[in-house]
Amino acid sequence: MTELLLFHHAQGLTPGMRDFADGLRRAGHTVHLPDLYAGRVFDTLDDGVAHAGDIGFGEIIERGRRAAEPLRPDLVYVGFSLGVLPAQALAQTRPGARGAVLCHACVPPAEFGGDWPAGVPVRIHGMDADPFFAGEGDVDAARALVASTSDAELFLYAGDRHLFTDSSLPDFDPDAAALLTERLLHFLDQVA
């Protein structure tokens, strides 16, 4: 099966993030789930984003790099919202990546030094009316990324929720989360 490095969203390593990782483990995958916030979890997205801002987004990426250092290089990097920053940075800059899955966010590849690397498949997931994903330019970055590389797909889900994959948060959408999980597991089987 596949080995993944999965990064949580801005509200922290919530029970829903732990449950998501456990579901991937039950499917036979090895999942590393670092806590970028050293135990802090936030009740609201605004509070989590403020905390990330206090830490510094560069430091969030650096914490992701440090989490990857002891691991083998041929990982799939998975990020949820804020966690897309370290996941995408590692997929673009750490040689050997098997793939990347970017959920609820996407950053223009130029932010991490250039084009998306050849031979690294990427899948991007977000809701079509999510005020963050669709409203702040992430979907545009995702479309540009898909257009720029040969093995990339963008999956849009109907709805306006941001963290729809986290079963412990009010934005949870069980149907969309199940479909995303099914697509993610299919992707992991492809890159195994």
The encoded tokens of residue 78 equal 């998975």
User: Alpha-carbon distance 192 to 190, whole Å?
Assistant: 6
Is there a domain that residue 85 lies in?
Answer: no
Domain-located, residue 59: yes
Sign of CA dihedral 119, 125, 128, 130: negative
State the pLDDT at residue 113.
87
Whether 11 maps to a domain, the answer reads: yes
Is 44 a domain residue? yes
Query: Considering the domain boundaries, does residue 164 fall inside one?
Result: yes
Q: Is residue 149 part of a domain?
A: yes
Q: For the domain that residue 39 is a member of, what is the CATH number?
A: 3.40.50.1820
Torsion of CA 143, 104, 164, 39, to 10 degrees: 170
Distance between CA atoms of residues 150 and 23, nearest Å: 29
Angle subtended at Cα 138 by Cα 190 and Cα 155, rounded to the nearest 5 degrees: 35
Looking at residue 114, what is its pLDDT? 85
Q: Contact at 8 Å (CB) between 191 and 78?
A: no
Find the helix packing angle between 57-68 and 84-93, rounded to 10°. 60
Q: How far is CA 89 from CA 28, 99, 177, in A?
A: 26, 12, 24
Quote the pLDDT of residue 130.
Answer: 97
Profile the chain (192 residues) by mean pLDDT over runs of 10 residues: 97 98 98 97 97 97 98 97 98 97 97 93 98 96 96 97 98 98 97 92
Domain span at residue 66 reads: 3-76+93-191
Per the domain annotation, does 84 fall within a domain? no
The answer to whether residue 66 sits within a structural domain is yes
Report the 10 Å Cβ neighbour count for 131: 11
Per the structure, how many domains does the chain have? 1
